[in-house]
Amino acid sequence: MFNEELNIEHAMNAAVEACTKYSDDYEIIIVDDASTDRSPFLVACRAVENPRIRMIRHEKNRKLGGSLKTGFAAATKDLVLYMDADLPFDPDSLGRAMLYGANVRAYHHWSLMDNFEWAEGYAQRFGLTYVDFRTQKRTIKDSGRWYAKLASTGSLT
């Protein structure tokens, strides 16, 4: 989390709701990457109310990679889900899939399209679709074609 004051409360609510629906043994780890807004305060207040919410604070901004490493290293449960505070997908979707019999070993969702990243601007590209920011033309990347095949066949091969 980096300066997510406008999103973090909704994200925590959605995460708690999804986790409590499917398990009584969960943890929510929020890595604060040296935010300068009120988002760390909001998380700290919520963590007092709910001891399953834990915040780890970076004193210096380590960017997304550093935050992911910190969060994964701190996780103590068997299933780990990474999610941005702006909720690019419904956190309940993984629980529903498992409830209906999906044998989830890993799940990764990033972004449909390249977008603006607050810490990196337009320099980093994470989407399944390449966006030419000058012309706004979209081109599906190899990863997007792979993901489409996985979604349509249900097979990794």
pLDDT tens per residue across span 93-106: 778 888 888 877 66
**What is the C-alpha to C-alpha distance for residues 27 and 55, in angstroms, rounded to an integer?**
11
Range of the domain at 47: 1-108
pLDDT tens, residue by residue, 121-137: 666 666 777 878 788 78
The residue count for the chain: 157
Domain count across the chain: 2
Residue 96 and residue 151 in one domain = no
pLDDT tens, residue by residue, 5-19: 999 999 999 999 988
pLDDT tens, residue by residue, 54-76: 999 999 999 887 888 899 899 99
Residue 132 and residue 142 in one domain = yes
Q: Which of 92, 108, 124 is the last residue of a domain?
A: 108
Backbone angles phi, psi at 121, to 5 degrees: 65, -135
**What is the C-alpha to C-alpha distance for residues 77 and 26, in angstroms, rounded to an integer?**
7
Residue 98 and residue 148 in one domain = no
